[in-house]
Each structure stands twice: as structure tokens, then as C-alpha cells.
Amino acid sequence: MFVAGKIRGIMSAARQCWKHYLATCHRPNSVSIEAMTEPDSSKIQRSYKFRFYPTSVQRQQLAIEFGHARWVWNTCLTWRGHQYRVHDKCVSGVDFSRQLTFLKKLGAYGWLGEATRDCLMQKLRDQDTAFRNFFAGRAKHPKFKKRAHTQSIRYCFDHRHRGKIKAWMAGQLVLPKLGALKLKWSRRPQGIPKMVTVTQDGAGRYFISFMCEETIQPLPRKPNGIGVDLGVKDIVVTSEGWKSGNPRHLRTYRRLLTKTQRRLSRKVRGSDRWRRQRVRVAKAHARVSNTRQDWLHKLSTALIRQAGFIAMEDLNVRGMMANRRLSKALGDVGMHELKRQLEYKAKWYGREFVQVDRWAPTSKTCSACGTVQKAMPLNVREWTCPDCKSVHDRDINAARNILRLTTVGRTGSDARGGVYQPEVAYGC
């Protein structure tokens, strides 16, 4: 009886440990940060992305890892399709992992042992996730991986390995078969990651990305509120009259992009010179993307710090991009990215972010008396209200109406939205 009771105790403890493992050991996925953030909690899953510079030996090993992971993905995708078409069977990555174990024992596939086992298994799990998203209608059917596209693999960062944890605390990241990586730390994460993704983009740059659980302190409360109107001439126009302007990143680097892409078109496709020039084109586009992302982060952070309440119009960016004459300028603005940054930063730092219905007549409504005009063409930038004779700037008037529509019914507000005066002037 004593032995049986002891065995039952051990089994109960093992089940508890397994439940704790399932609850805590998870990997980062494509879920956005704002979806994983609790509204009333300061603990978040924060993602980081750093660039690193591998040595020649590490670069060779990464080429092996990328190639083997790409082969496993493509072979498993082909095998899945064959099993479904010929045998009418739905298989998963777990089924192919058994086939992969058998292939490693054969002499013709012995080269599969050169790669890290966890990277290959993570690729199969990624494919299972891709098929779940496809059957749920959230994504298209998974495609084959190509060597010329962005390459990525994922490592499991084992917390039981004392050497890796000690190196992490010392500011180093150690990965299997790669050793310590030369990272360019822009900031030090507070937590310890559980999964680490290594990526090589089309420009030949190497990055690592991971998630850590961190605690973010909310910013000091601000009693003011602002309405934000988005546009092309000025990306952000606030209800207080401040205009951000538009750096026009594509126009700034237009000469560089034209020069590199023209040279690429004159090369023989598939040749060595063509591949080298393709990397130059990718670097030029990466420079445009980096400058735009940096500017949007500075702009969104400035808005979050200077106002406690932010109101913005819910624009149909995808429908606006269908306009052939404005699609290039709209794509250079990055309206959706700015909205995404404001949403998750507002949750992080204790701000309130509200969006107005896209069909609200904010541009053709007088913010002083509330009169709605019948039409307001895009070429009209300033107009005078026929009822109260107030002169309005089109964008500032729209921003004031956005703030009015979101603050009606709040304490200290009125129908005209004359509430929450900003404490200081702001910019970015």
C-alpha cells in the first residue's frame, strides 16, 4: 500500500509538471503584439529584432540550416499533396517527421544530420500552422520556399542549459552549431526568450527576433485629447493645428531606386552579375523601408507621449490603394502601419485610442456650428462656412470633427469638442 501510494503521488506530481509546461512553454507566432496584450495588465509579450554579423564559419552553417529547412518544407508539402490526391489522406508534420527519421538512416540522405534537429522540426510545425490558417480561411494555400526569397529558421532556447543562460545574462546569445553571435544591441531585453528566429532578408542581412515577457510602466496621465486626420500632403494633422508634413521617402530615394533597377533590367537573368545587382536593389528598398519605419515610430511615440486621448478616422486603406493615381503616394505614407503602432502603444502606456466611423462626414462638416456641406472636392483645401462664416482649413477642420465625435458625452465635453487643451506643443 505504501508503494502504491508513493507511485500515485509521483504520477500526480508528473501531471502537474506537464500542465505547467504546457501553460508556460510556448513559441512566438504571427499573432500581433497588441492581440497578446491585456488591456488592464502591464505585463506584455514584447518582440525584439536585432541585426547580427556572422563569421564566415557561421555564415556557412547558416546556409546549411536554411537549405535543409527549405528542403524539409518543400518535400513535406509535396508529400502532403501526394497523400491527399492519391490516397485521400490528411497527414500532418508529425507523420512526416517519422519519415524524416527514417530518411536520416539512409546513406543517400545522411546530409540531413548536418542541420540542427530543432530547426527542421520547427519548420514542420510552421507548415501545420500554415495549413490550419488555410482551412480556417485566414490565409492562402502554403507555397514552396525559394532560395532567392527571405530565409528563416527557429531555434529553441533551452532554459535548462546553464551555459546559455549565463551567456545571455552576460549579453551574448549562443545558438546550437553557431556559437556566440555578434549582435548589435540597440537595447537590452528584460526577460529571457524561449524561441529565437534567425532570418536572412533579400539584401543579405542577418537578423534575430524573439519575444520576452516584460513589464511596462504606463506614462504619466495627460488630461488633453487630440483628433488626428491622415493625409498625403501632411501625414498627420491634429485638431490643434499641428501638421507633421510628409518626408516622401520614395521621392527621396527615387534616383537611387531608378539607377539600381535599370541596371538590373540590363543584366542576364540568372547570371552572377544579375544576382549581385538584385542584392543592390534589395538594399536600396530596405533603406527606404527603414527610414519610413523609423519616422513612423518617432511620430507615433510623440503623439502617445503628448496626449492622453487620441482619436483617428478609420480609413479603408485597401480601397484607397485601388486608385492608380494615388496608390504610390498612399503606400509611401504607411497609414495602416501608423494606426497599428498607435493602437499597441496606447495599450502599453495607458492611453486611450478611439477610431471614428469611416463614413462620418468629417471634412465637409463645420466644426464651429455643425453644418454639413453637400459636397467637398479634394481640391478644396480651405473653405468658408455659409452659415457661421468661419474659415476652415480642410484637414484641421476634419481633425476637430474627429475629436468632437469621439468626446461627445464625456465629462467636461460639449457638442463642439472644445475640450482637453494640449499642455505643450509637440512634434517629432
CA atoms within 13 Å, Cβ hemisphere of 237: 18
The single-letter code of the amino acid at 91 is: V
CB 54 within 8 A of CB 206: yes
Question: Any catalytic annotation for residue 313?
Answer: yes
What stretches of 88-209 show up as alpha helix (H) in DSSP?
93-104, 117-135, 162-169
Whats the size of the chain, residue-wise?
428
Helix axis angle, 272-306 to 335-348, nearest 10°: 50
Which H or E element spans position 195? strand 195-200
Separate counts of helices (H) and strands (E) for the chain: 12, 13
CB 339 within 8 A of CB 352: no
Question: Any catalytic annotation for residue 352?
Answer: no
User: Residue 105 corresponds to which cell in the numbers above?
Assistant: 538512416
- Please state whether 38 falls in left (phi above 0), alpha (psi between -120 and 50) or beta: beta
Bridge pairing between strands 352-356 and 309-313: parallel
* Closest to 176 (Cα-Cα) out of 100, 56, 62, 24: 62
**Active-site position among 65, 240, 313, 332:** 313
Phi, then psi, of 288 in degrees rounded to 5: -65, -45
- Residue 229, helix vs strand vs coil: strand
User: Residue 292 corresponds to which cell in the numbers above?
Assistant: 519610413
**Active-site position among 65, 126, 229, 343:** 229
Q: How far apart are CA 9 and CA 375, in angstroms?
A: 77
Question: Any catalytic annotation for residue 332?
Answer: no
Bridge pairing between strands 391-393 and 382-384: antiparallel
Q: How many CB atoms lie within 10 A of CB 12?
A: 10
Bridge pairing between strands 225-230 and 236-238: antiparallel
Beta bridge partners of residue 47, listed in sequence order: 211
Q: Residues with catalytic annotation?
A: 229, 313, 395
